[in-house]
Structure formats: structure tokens, C-alpha cells
Structure 1
Amino acid sequence: MSSSAIVIHHSNHTHGHPAPPDVVVDALPYYDSGYDEPGAREAALSLVEDETRRYKPTKNYLEQLGQPLYHSFETEIMKTEFERLSNRLPMEMLSMKRYELPTPPAGKQTDFTAWNECVENSYAQLEHQQTRILNLELMWDYGANTWKIYNTTLQTMLEQAQKQLLELRKRIQEINSNRKNEQTQAGGQLGALEQTWVGLVGKNYEIECAIVELEKEVTNLRKQRPTNGVTSSE
């Protein structure tokens, strides 16, 4: 993988929270190569595991969001049902007693009040059945249109959701495309700078070699000057 580093600037303040500091990302995944080399994935996972073992969080990164309200939406019926589930109690069966027409018990067969309650119960049951018949008639007259309207509403909601999904996918595609273009351009610049750096280092090396050779020649000349009748002080 080529050595590359980019800085991500967080300039947006989400929901009024301060932006996190700049993060240096030493990777250009759309430009770097070597991710598929044998052992690269294992080495990365090893680094992550090592960092996970050594990292000890010292602050709550979600404290600005406040305490979650897990039970704010629960109704009394839901709370009762959750309690039943936590206690592993069986669900109560649907009571059909209200639909029954029992006669008075054996000890009250001659009790006028008991029979009167049974008659009143039968009236209530009859009224209930008449209401059900009325509801069925209303459904027969208007249920089809209501169902069509309901289906149309569902279809509209589905189309809106699909449209939002397409827009999100388009935005994701645009973001990935922009990232690829930016990283490709940055990679090209890094490659050019790397070549310039290599050239300059090579030139510096050549200059250093030339300086060493000149120093050798100067040293040899200084050694040869006394033999020609010239003192070293001159």
C-alpha cells in the first residue's frame, strides 16, 4: 500500500453539538493497492484486536444525547404484558363468557331476580348481534371502497418510500464517486510528489558523492603540494 494521508475536516455541527477534532486518515482505499495481498487482512484485524485490548474509554461519547427513554412509549397494557413475559407466565385465554346465555344455577331456579338477570343478559347479547349485523351491512356497502382507498394510500406510501430509497442510493453513489475522484486525484498528486522526492533524494545523493570525490581530490592535492616546493601554509 502506498503511503498516503488525508485529513478529514468536520465542519458541520450536527444537532448543535460541537464538531469532533480533525481526524488523520492514512489510507486512500480507492487508490492504494495491496489490500488483497496474503496476510493483509489478518494483520489489520490483529492491530484492531490489540488496540481493543489496550484501549480504556474514559468518557461517555453519548452523554450529549441524554438518557434514553426506553419506556416512554409503553402503555399500561404493554407494561402488564412485559411483566407477564418476564415472569414466564402463560397468556390468559380469550374469555367467551360474555357470549354465553347460562341459566340460573341449580339453587336459584325459582329466583325471579336470577332469571331477570339472565333475560337482561340475553337482551344485551341480542343487541350485540344486531350491532354486528349492522357493521357487516355497512362493510358490505362501503367496505370495498374503503379498502380500495386504503390500498391506494399504501401504494402511495410505498412509492414515496421507494423514491426516497432511490434518492438515498443516488446520494450514496455520488458520495462514493466523489470520494473515488478525490482519492484518485490525491493519489496522482502523491505519486508525482513521491517521484519528485525520489528525484531530489537521488540528486542529493549524487551531489554528496561528488562532494566526497572533490574532498578526496583536494586532500590528494594538499598532499602533493609540499613535494613541489610549496609549504602547506602557503
Structure 2
Amino acid sequence: MAATAKLQTFFSNIELTSYPGPQSSYQKLARQQTMTTIDSLPYYDRDLDVIPNLRQRIEREIELELKSTSPPPTSNLDQTTTHHPFLSEFPNLLASSARPSRLADRSDPNYQSNGSTDSLDIERFNIPYPDDHTSLEEWEKALSNAKSQLEHQRLRLINLDLIGKHGANHWKLSNFLVDQEISKVDKLVALCKDEIDDVNRRRKAHQTDVGDRLTDLAQKWQNLISTNISLEITNINLKMEVEALQQEAATLKQKLET
């Protein structure tokens, strides 16, 4: 009975004190002095596939965390309009994009109650007559106003003529420059994608190599633990045999003395 109690005490101590469990791959990586970047091991760890119900537990924890966090502040923008989450960091940009256009601006003189607008407001092109037809000063002001408007119209005609002559070429040049910029951006995007693919390939190769070494080390650790347990059990058995022999020797000695 005493030997059985000793074995039970020994195995209970193994689980709690003598042999702590192996460290996870993340803890091992954190203790490597040569590593400058702490990275997860998605190409090596298969905890989601090995541990039952782990994915459900993680999703449940994420859901609880999302419920405990406060929702993002809402603005006066139209909630039906969807924006990329990145734009939420630029409220001024969203506000400018949500600002009503000129056609929907009720302060515009051309805005009608039914939401439509006139095709053209010609009131500003009228030349008002002076209120006092007998005042020379009023007629001079009206004449000056008419000359100003005529000069403005002449400049507009000149601009329209220049647009008619050179606008097409300028538009083509602008489109050409835009195409060049798009080509540069496409090349940059392709270069970034190649770099990302290269990083992922090197990351996978590195993690595969590290994972193999971690597997070997974990296997060695388990073998050492098994060896230590076997040695401890052997020591206990030897102690029990020694105690039994000592007790037998004491009994024989007592018999010889009598």
C-alpha cells in the first residue's frame, strides 16, 4: 500500500511540477534571439484542424469581443451609401462627396419646386434700361454695363473658338498623359504583387524549415520526458526492492539473534 501511494504521488507531481508541457511554437519563436521579426506560422500550425471545436471557440470569442466594443461613431451622412472602411478616416472627404450637387441645391435660382431646373437662365444676359429715362448719368451707367457684357461675350466667343481649334488635341494629350500614368501605376502594382508573392514564397519556405525543426525538437522533448519517466519509475521500483531487501535482512538478523 505504501508503494502504491508513492507511485500516485509521483505521477501527480509529474503533471503539475516536474515536467511542464512543451512550449508552443509562438513562445519558442519569441525566445529566439536571432529572430528580428515575430511571425505566426500559418504554413506549419494546424491547430484548427487538430484540436476539436477550436474554430467554433475562436469565432465565439471574436463575436463576444465585437459585442463588447463600442460601435464606430455615426455621422450625418447618408447611411444607405456604402464607403470603403479606409475612407472613414477622412470625414471631410466623405462630407464633400455627400454634399448635394448644384442641380439639387435649393439655393440655386434655377431650382424648381418639383426638383427640375431650367435649361438656361437668360435673365442675366438682359441689358436693363435705366429707371430714369431723362437722366444722362443713368444712361451712361447702362451703356458702360452693356459694353462690359459685350466684351465678356466677345471673350467667351474667342475662348470657344480656341477650344474648337485646339481642344481636341489638348484632350488627346490629356488622355495620353493619363494613359501613361495608368501604365506606371499598373507596372508598380505588378511589381508590388511580384514582391508580395516572393515574400510569401520565402515565408512559406522559412516556416516549413522552422516547422520541421520544431517537430524534431518536440519529438526529442517527448522522448526525453518518456526516458525521464521510465528512470523515475525504475528508481522507485529499485527503492522498493531495496526497502524489501532491507526489511528481509532485518527479519533474518532478528531470527539469527534469537
Pick the TM interval, shorter chain. Answer: 0.5 to 0.7
CA contact (8 A) 1:28 1:183 kept: yes
Structure 2's unaligned 5+ residue stretches are 1-22, 71-90, 100-104, 111-120
Structure showing the higher helix proportion among its residues: 2
In structure 2, what is the equivalent of residue 7 of structure 1?
Answer: 30
Task: After superposition, give the CA deviation of every residue in 1:68-110 in whole Å (9 maximum; x if it has no partner).
Answer: xx99xxxxxx9xxx9xxxxxx96454897653311112xx022
Query: Could you state the TM-score of these two structures normalised by the residue count of structure 1?
Result: 0.64
- 2:209 aligned with 1:185, yes or no? yes
Q: 1:158 aligns with which of 179, 182, 186?
A: 182
- 2:62 aligned with 1:45, yes or no? yes
Distance 1:156 1:24, change over 3 A: closer
User: Cα offset for 1:197?
Assistant: 0.6
CA contact (8 A) 1:8 1:23 kept: no
Length, aligned pairs only: 184
Q: 1:125 aligns with which of 149, 159, 168?
A: 149
> Take 1:224 and 1:199, find their aligned partners in 2: how far apart are those partners?
37
User: Cα offset for 1:156?
Assistant: 0.5
User: Cα offset for 1:226?
Assistant: 3.8
Query: Could you state the TM-score of these two structures normalised by the residue count of structure 2?
Result: 0.58
CA contact (8 A) 1:30 1:183 kept: yes
> Take 1:112 and 1:120, find their aligned partners in 2: how far apart are those partners?
12
Distance 1:211 1:8, change over 3 A: closer
Task: Output aligned runs, 1:64-75, within 5 Å.
Answer: none
- 2:205 aligned with 1:205, yes or no? no
Task: Output aligned runs, 1:1-234, within 5 Å.
Answer: 3-5=24-26, 6-7=29-30, 27-35=40-48, 37=53, 38-45=55-62, 48=65, 91=107, 93=109, 99-105=125-131, 108-229=132-253
> Take 2:146 and 2:183, find their aligned partners in 1: how far apart are those partners?
50
Amino acid at match of 2:24: S
Structure 1's unaligned 5+ residue stretches are 10-21, 54-69, 72-77, 83-88
Task: After superposition, give the CA deviation of every residue in 1:32-65 in whole Å (9 maximum; x if it has no partner).
Answer: 1233744232354268569979xxxxxxxxxxxx
> Take 1:140 and 1:163, find their aligned partners in 2: how far apart are those partners?
35
Which moved further from structure 2: 146-155 or 121-130?
Answer: 121-130
In structure 1, what is the equivalent of residue 6 of structure 2?
Answer: none
User: Cα offset for 1:168?
Assistant: 2.1
CA contact (8 A) 1:34 1:40 kept: no
> Take 2:155 and 2:198, find their aligned partners in 1: how far apart are those partners?
58
Amino acid at match of 1:192: D
CA contact (8 A) 1:104 1:115 kept: yes
Per the alignment, in what secondary structure is the counterpart of residue 143 of structure 1? helix
> Take 1:211 and 1:129, find their aligned partners in 2: how far apart are those partners?
111
Distance 1:96 1:190, change over 3 A: farther
* C-alpha RMSD of the superposition: 3.7
Per the alignment, in what secondary structure is the counterpart of residue 39 of structure 1? helix
> Take 2:209 and 2:228, find their aligned partners in 1: how far apart are those partners?
28
CA contact (8 A) 1:7 1:24 kept: yes
In structure 2, what is the equivalent of residue 19 of structure 1?
Answer: none
Which moved further from structure 2: 188-197 or 37-46?
Answer: 37-46
